Structure 1
Amino acid sequence: MRNKKTSEEVALGIRRRVFEHSMRNNGGYLSQACSAGEQLAWLYNEELKLGDPTLPMIPKPFEGVPSADNPDYHTGAGYNGPFEPQYDRLFIAPAHYALVAYATLIEVGRMAPEGLEMFNKDGSSVEMIGAEHSPGMEVHNGTLGIGLSTGAGLAYGRKLKGEPGRTWVYMSDGEVQEGQTWEAVQAASFHGIDNLYAIMDVNKQQCDGAMDSVMEVGDIKTKFQNFGAVCVEIDGHDINAMRDAVKEPHEGKPLIILANTNPFHSMPILEERFPRLHYVRFKSEDERARMNVSIAKDLGVEPIDYSH
């Protein structure tokens, strides 16, 4: 399914929704919307070949874990359409990007806006940290680094079956601090898993601050190449660059797109919080009001009335 919005319009819509939610809830994952907006917009609006959603537009409450007593259990991947050979599959490895992912689903018409009102509420499937039952999620990725391994395994199985659909993994750069990421790339290269694609949000930020203050990772493009992937580095806010990058030849190898981004892109006032950008909770009513006015102006909307 496709909508009439451009990917640039979808990216702006994502940021506006995350901004409104964060203002009404005294905080949110604002920097992830800044850095990831164009990438998720491009994936869902243009690049991914997905069928129509198979789940209700308004998400159901959490219905329990898989078991013999729960035969109707389903993952949240139904918002990405059915599992059929011709369609792509998407794993969102950094589950803390869930708020941004939900906003994306709404912007491309795969989930109703009411779904975001259920975010982080007791009994809701619209989890703060996305789980396998959350909209758009297929598995619980646990610790960062597992997502690429999961995607590689699925892609290998699909390749052995001769399925034409691709497997995509959306990643964050903090995952390169995990050894499992490199094991996955090495295995994918060895087994010729060239139906595996990944795009990584390289915003140089993680939960505990700037990445280099936690663990320096060096030249990750060269590392990916040395482990056997084809790796392309782009401006992560340039959708044309994404369109070109995905065309890079990579026969017999996975394709990794490194999307260099700014964690306060389109919301420059967030730089005041650097390097503590992982989750922006307002420290005072004055800060909340200042950010409300500033970000609203940058996004071309009216300040949010969060008094009710």
Structure 2
Amino acid sequence: MDVGSNVVQSTQLKLDEQYEYKKMEQMAHGIRQRVLELTIEKNGCYLSQALSSAETVAVLYGGLMKLGESQAPFDAPAFGGIPGNSNKDYVTGAAYNGPTGPGYDRLLISPAHYAVVIYAALVESGRLSPDSLKEFNVDGSIVEQIGAEHSPGFELTTGSFGQAISQAGGIAHARKMRNEEGRVFLFMSDGELEEGQTWEGIQAAAHYKLDNLVVYVDVNGQQYDGWTKDVMNIEPINSRIEAFGGTCVTVDGHNIKELVKASQAPTEGKPLFVLCYTNSAQGLPELDYRKPNLHFVRFRDHEVEQFKAILEKMKKGVR
């Protein structure tokens, strides 16, 4: 008898019973559809980031994390000003993720330009109204194109790339010091692995044995200037993270079951990193010809009607 095989099968059966994979898949489809619609309506958007990370974000909001009900307005309010003596009631966008106390997981977003993906996920999970997306990138709205701490789903302003892992590590460390249940999830992009602070953050998280920190990385292999491997090669990511003291799992970032299962990997006192290898044109192969120039997508005049037709097919569920 293959005991190891039985253990794997038993684990998968438990996961199958616990998580609604179909719901997560539907959420991923909804995320792509909503961001494509915004790309058409707003004459440009961070569409490829939604195409690559839709499943990852759908898994996080679709039941993987222990989140309570949203504590924020269903319709996104207008920007309330910066915090200060005259604005002591200032709240962050974290309220859309529910309570942050013991027993609940926390979600931090590192790449602020993925904000539209988070907004779409909040809509798909019933935490934000679909009408709120009409305020996307409108002056005076908190539904900003580049997310900040007041934007729905955001708890912190992550500043330059690579800072959020240090912030997430600090929160995870504080939770361990208080013996507080609940994990800290961080969503990152692979381009951030070019930043020195990212590696300092990994090293610190390993030093403090932050096994309550789970980092999902969207490895789509592209950035503003082209392919990541050409601009600043970061591979092999897994062995580098392990060398800095983390536990690393590599998955197909479009496979819901793999994304869920990775979160259960034993960490033995180490932070967990899930490398989600993805396709920046997933679901829209019509964009393949533009690779790697997909950092920000604006359709050419002759393409608009083509992608409007694709959007209608997506709404009907035929793509």
* Matching residue of 1:306: none
* Matching residue of 2:266: 249
Secondary structure, aligned partner of 1:27: coil
Equivalent residues in 2 for 1:129-278, closer than 5 Å? 129-278=146-295
Equivalent residues of 2:37, 2:311 under 8 A apart: no
TM-score, normalization: structure 2? 0.91
Summarize deviations over 1:50-109 as a string: whole Å, max 9, x none. Answer: 111111000111111110110210000000011211101000100100011100000000
* Matching residue of 1:109: 126
Matched residue count: 300
CA separation in 1, counterparts of 2:138 and 2:22?
A: 30
The RMSD of aligned alpha carbons is: 1.7
TM-score, normalization: structure 1? 0.94
* Matching residue of 2:304: 288
Equivalent residues of 1:172, 1:202 under 8 A apart: yes
Equivalent residues of 1:54, 1:79 under 8 A apart: yes
Equivalent residues in 2 for 1:20-59, closer than 5 Å? 20-59=37-76
Equivalent residues in 2 for 1:59-98, closer than 5 Å? 59-98=76-115
Can you give the 5+ residue segments of structure 2 that lack an aligned partner in the other structure?
Answer: 1-18
In structure 1, what residue type is equivalent to 2:107?
L
* Matching residue of 2:10: none
Equivalent residues of 1:50, 1:81 under 8 A apart: yes
Deviation of the 1:291 alpha carbon = 2.9
CA separation in 1, counterparts of 2:206 and 2:308?
A: 47
**Further displaced range: 210-219 or 92-101:** 210-219
Equivalent residues of 1:267, 1:295 under 8 A apart: no
Secondary structure, aligned partner of 1:6: helix
Can you give the 5+ residue segments of structure 1 that lack an aligned partner in the other structure?
Answer: 304-308
Identical-residue share of aligned pairs (%):
47
Equivalent residues of 2:206, 2:246 under 8 A apart: yes
Q: Note closer, same or farther for the CA distance 1:206–1:296 as it changes in structure 2 (3 Å cut).
A: farther
Summarize deviations over 1:201-258 as a string: whole Å, max 9, x none. Answer: 0000112221122111120110000000000000000011012211110021000000
* Matching residue of 2:5: none
Q: Note closer, same or farther for the CA distance 1:147–1:294 as it changes in structure 2 (3 Å cut).
A: same
Equivalent residues of 1:53, 1:80 under 8 A apart: yes
Equivalent residues of 1:269, 1:294 under 8 A apart: no
